[in-house]
């Protein structure tokens, strides 16, 4: 006789009307190398606003305890600038200028009772993203004059977007 191994089987039950809410690929413009960015199941995974606000409080707590020039606070600001949109960063900086966060900045107080500082010291032995970019002096990859590459390099548009084969001069 065979015995049951106790394995669990998961059956994905798709809602019967989910197909009519999904945008068909034929209706989309030609966007290269993006797969299902219109998938309704993942519509809220790109909103990083909450994470950005939490990182802003981490940054404020670091500044209140260590000072703005400390390497940990510079690292916290590095990640904050990449997570929070500039518009929201300016809004929170306005609130900071009005004195909303003086208790955090002047006394190093936790913003709320269960707050845990998560900012990290700068790593020496295994560099992360901050350490990788912090010690590099690099030029920006583009200038404002060349922002519209269709105008300045129409050949690239023909090759990469229209799929034409490049013609090399001999």
Q: φ, ψ for residue 136 (rounded to 5)?
A: -110, 135
Q: Is the pLDDT of residue 28 over 70?
A: no
CA torsion, points 75, 76, 78, 84, in degrees to nearest 10? 170
pLDDT, average across residues 21-46? 54
Instruction: Give the model's confidence band at 96: pLDDT under 50 very low, under 70 low, under 90 confident, else very high.
Output: very high
pLDDT bracket for residue 155 (50, 70, 90): confident
What are the phi and psi torsion angles at 10 (to 5°)? -105, 130
Q: What is the mean pLDDT of residues 99-110?
A: 93
- DSSP symbols for 59-88: HHHHHHHH-TTSHHHHHHHHHHHHHS-HHH
What confidence tens digit (pLDDT) does each residue in 66-80 have? 999 998 999 999 888
Task: Mention every residue, 6+ apart, whose C-beta is less than 8 A from residue 134.
Answer: 74, 75, 78, 122
Q: Residues 6 or more apart from 107 whose CB is under 8 A from it?
A: 64
Show the beta-strand stretches assigned E in the chain: none
pLDDT at 36 over 50: no
Residue recorded with tokens 């929170």 = 92
Mean pLDDT over 117-137 rounds to: 77
Given a cut of 50, is residue 119 above it in pLDDT?
yes
Average the pLDDT over 50-69 and give the result.
Answer: 91
Task: Answer for the pair 84, 58: CB distance below 8 angstroms, yes or no.
Answer: no
**152, two tokens:** 């300045």
Q: Is 113 helix (H, G, I), strand (E, B) or coil?
A: coil
- Return the biggest CA–CA distance within the chain: 77
Higher local confidence (pLDDT), 24 or 2: 24
């Amino acid at each position: 006789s065979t015995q049951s191994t106790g394995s669990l089987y998961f059956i994905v039950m798709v809602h019967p009307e989910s197909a009519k809410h999904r945008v068909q690929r034929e209706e989309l413009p030609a966007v290269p190398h993006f797969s299902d960015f219109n998938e309704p199941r993942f519509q809220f995974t790109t909103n990083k606003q909450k994470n950005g606000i939490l990182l802003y409080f981490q940054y404020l707590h670091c500044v209140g305890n260590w000072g703005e020039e400390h390497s940990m606070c510079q690292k916290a600001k590095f990640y904050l600038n990449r997570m929070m949109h500039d518009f929201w960063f300016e809004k929170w900086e306005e609130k900071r200028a009005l004195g909303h966060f003086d208790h955090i900045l002047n006394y190093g107080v936790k913003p709320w009772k269960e707050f845990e500082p998560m900012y990290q010291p700068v790593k020496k032995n295994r560099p992360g993203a901050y350490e990788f970019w912090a010690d590099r002096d690099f030029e920006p990859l583009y200038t404002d004059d060349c922002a519209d590459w269709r105008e300045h390099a129409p050949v690239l548009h023909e090759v990469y977007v229209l799929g034409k084969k490049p013609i090399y001069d001999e």
